[in-house]
Structure 1
């Protein structure tokens, strides 16, 4: 099992809508947290492979009103 964290910077203040959209992604989104700081959301992903992480991160990055994403895979 692979655990990863996708840091998401949004280009809109519509926090609830984007949180709902990211939470609804099929295939491994475990949680979406709204955070303060350099990013707006942290999305926790638990999937079978790094390729699955890439698929979810790409889906998030291609959503409307997403400015940037950074993905980190946990090593332990």
Structure 2
């Protein structure tokens, strides 16, 4: 099992729509948190492998209203 965190910067104020869209992406998306700071969301995913992380991150990055993403895979 792979745990990953995707930091998401939005270019729109429609955070509720974006949050729901990210939650609806994949069964591996565990939580989507709206946060204050350099990014707008932190998405936590638990998936079978790194390829699944890539698919989730790519799907988020392609959403309307998303400016940038950074993906981190937990090492422990």
TM-score per shorter chain, which class?
over 0.9
For 2:21 and 2:75, the matched residues in 1 are separated by: 27
> Which blocks of at least 5 consecutive residues in structure 1 are unaligned?
none
> Secondary structure in 2 aligned to 1:59?
helix
In structure 2, what is the Cα distance between the partners aligned to 1:13 and 1:38? 15
- 3-state SS of 1:27 partner: coil
CA RMSD of aligned residues (A): 0.5
Give the TM-score, by structure 1 length.
Answer: 0.98
Runs of 4+ in 1 over 3 A off after TM superposition: none
Separation (CA, whole Å) in 2 of partners of 1:35 and 1:63? 18
Residue-by-residue CA offset, 1:41-74 (whole Å, 9 max, x unaligned): 0000000000000000000000001000000000
1:9 is aligned to 9
The alignment covers a number of residue pairs equal to 76
How much has 1:26 moved relative to structure 2? 1.8
Q: What is the match of residue 68 of structure 2?
A: 68
| Structure 2 stretches lacking a partner, 5+ long | none
